[in-house]
């Protein structure tokens, strides 16, 4: 029997979501198995878009489903998950209702097709279903972050992010932004509309830029010009911050424990023509041959700050994962403090929105690592961003929402006297 056109894509989206909810995988980790029989790039992109929009709007999609059933479907019921992806297509991806039904109901072979058909049809009647302007955060996230913080972040999650580029040459930002149809929000930065194929953009092969979120570009900027001095990029792969440091004149040692990710870093260095010294090692057991004038720790973390591009973190990450990350982050910060030259600068950063991994870690470094705070100043930051009263930086996806938002980062800086 011939397969309904588009059905393999929806099956793949369902497998992606199953990997997130049942196995706790990220969408990226799940791609290999979930998209194995989906070969064409547009089809793979559609499967990921369906899964991503389902995760982004999950709380609101569930509220709609519950409003149309006499008895709530179990959270893990296949009929609920199929209805989620059907509604995500109709309400977020503008897929015609007949196409959604034709590719959605076959996913419930042997299941409650009539129920799913009835619920979906009722919800997509003209004027029947409207999603809010911004996604509703999951209850567990609101409980962890607080209602005010969650409400401030939510506007940044309504759409997938645009494409941020980091440039080798600071002098090119304005002209390159105009030439590429984008905008620049900081030195060495260009933002382009979402959906661009990266390897088809101007000067990709020339290596004049690389993809890196605006917030992720800030930590390396806070170390300034290197002038040939020695910097260590701890947990360096896939290399965005290493390339920033190298482009700013630092002699960079790029340390990472992952062979695969370190290969990506080497490929990026080769494409951009920038120089660094990659080292594969466990930072907790490695001993450097010399001390450093600057160390950048982009520490392993829960990565909840990347929720606008990776909405799975809103549903995978909970309070139980945070303590393990905190312990590792403290161990890395303690090592880094030992490896600094007198007068050397440490920048600690995490792409996390959890206070335990950000503000509380900075207070711990103040107290335990023998370093002196070196406050971040407003002049060092992109326009409209400001440091905290403590001289730290906290960003979140709701910031710069009118310009496309940014990832959530915490950044602190210290000097070794």
Domain boundaries, the chain: 7-123, 162-212, 220-415
Please report the pLDDT score of residue 2 as a whole number: 58
* Residues of the chain where predicted confidence (pLDDT) is lower than 70: 1-2
Q: Which CATH class is domain 7-123?
A: mainly alpha
State the pLDDT at residue 1. Answer: 44
pLDDT of residue 197: 84
Out of 3.90.1570, 2.60.120, 3.30.70, 1.10.10, the CATH code matching 162-212 is 3.30.70
Q: What is the pLDDT of residue 21?
A: 95
pLDDT for 143: 95
Q: Tell me, yes or no, if 369 is annotated catalytic.
A: no
Decide if 334 contacts 40 (C-beta within 8 A): no
Q: What is the reported pLDDT for 173?
A: 94
The neighbour count for residue 9, using CB atoms within 10 Å, is 23
Supply the CATH classification number for the domain 220-415: 3.40.50.150
Choosing from 235, 301, 307, 351, which is the catalytic residue?
Answer: 351
Looking at the chain, the whole-number percentage of residues with pLDDT higher than 90 is 93
pLDDT score, position 195? 83
Tell me if 347 sits within 8 A of 361, measured CB to CB.
no
pLDDT at 401: 85
């Amino acid at each position: 029997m011939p397969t309904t056109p588009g059905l393999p894509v929806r099956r793949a989206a369902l497998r992606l979501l199953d990997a997130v909810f049942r196995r706790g995988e990220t969408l990226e980790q799940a791609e290999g198995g979930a998209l194995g029989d989906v070969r064409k790039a547009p089809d793979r992109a559609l499967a990921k878009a369906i899964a991503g929009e389902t995760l982004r709007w999950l709380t609101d999609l569930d509220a709609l489903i519950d409003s149309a059933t006499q008895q709530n479907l179990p959270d893990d019921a296949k009929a609920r998950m199929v209805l989620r992806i059907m509604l995500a297509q109709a309400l977020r991806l503008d897929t015609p209702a007949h196409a959604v039904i034709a590719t959605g109901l076959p996913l419930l072979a042997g299941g409650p097709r009539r129920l799913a058909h009835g619920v979906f049809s009722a919800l997509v009647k003209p004027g029947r279903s409207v999603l809010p302007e911004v996604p509703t955060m999951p209850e567990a996230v609101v409980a962890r972050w607080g209602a005010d913080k969650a409400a401030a972040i939510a506007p940044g999650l309504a759409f997938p992010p645009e494409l941020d580029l980091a440039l080798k040459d600071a002098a090119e930002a304005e002209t390159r932004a105009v030439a590429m149809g984008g905008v620049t929000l900081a030195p060495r930065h260009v933002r382009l509309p979402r959906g661009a194929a990266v390897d088809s953009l101007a000067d990709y092969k020339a290596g004049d830029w690389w993809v890196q979120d605006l917030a992720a570009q800030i930590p390396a900027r806070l170390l300034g010009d290197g002038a040939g001095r020695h910097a260590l990029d701890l947990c360096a792969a896939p290399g965005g911050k290493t390339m920033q440091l190298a482009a700013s004149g630092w002699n960079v040692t790029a340390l990472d424990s992952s062979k695969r990710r370190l290969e990506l870093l080497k490929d990026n260095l080769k494409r951009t023509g920038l120089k660094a010294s990659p080292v594969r090692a466990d930072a907790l057991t490695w001993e450097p041959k010399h001390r450093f004038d600057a160390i950048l720790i982009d520490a392993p973390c829960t990565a909840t700050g990347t929720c606008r591009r990776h909405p799975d973190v809103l549903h995978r990450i909970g309070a139980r994962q945070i303590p393990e990350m905190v312990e590792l982050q403290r161990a890395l910060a303690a090592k880094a403090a030992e490896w600094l030259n007198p007068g050397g600068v440490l920048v600690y950063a995490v792409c996390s929105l959890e206070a335990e991994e950000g503000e509380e870690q900075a207070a711990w470094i103040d107290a335990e690592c023998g370093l002196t705070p070196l406050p971040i100043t407003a002049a060092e930051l992109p326009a409209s961003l400001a440091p905290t009263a403590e001289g730290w930086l906290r960003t979140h996806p709701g910031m710069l929402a009118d310009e496309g938002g940014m990832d959530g980062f915490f950044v602190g800086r210290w000097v070794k006297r």
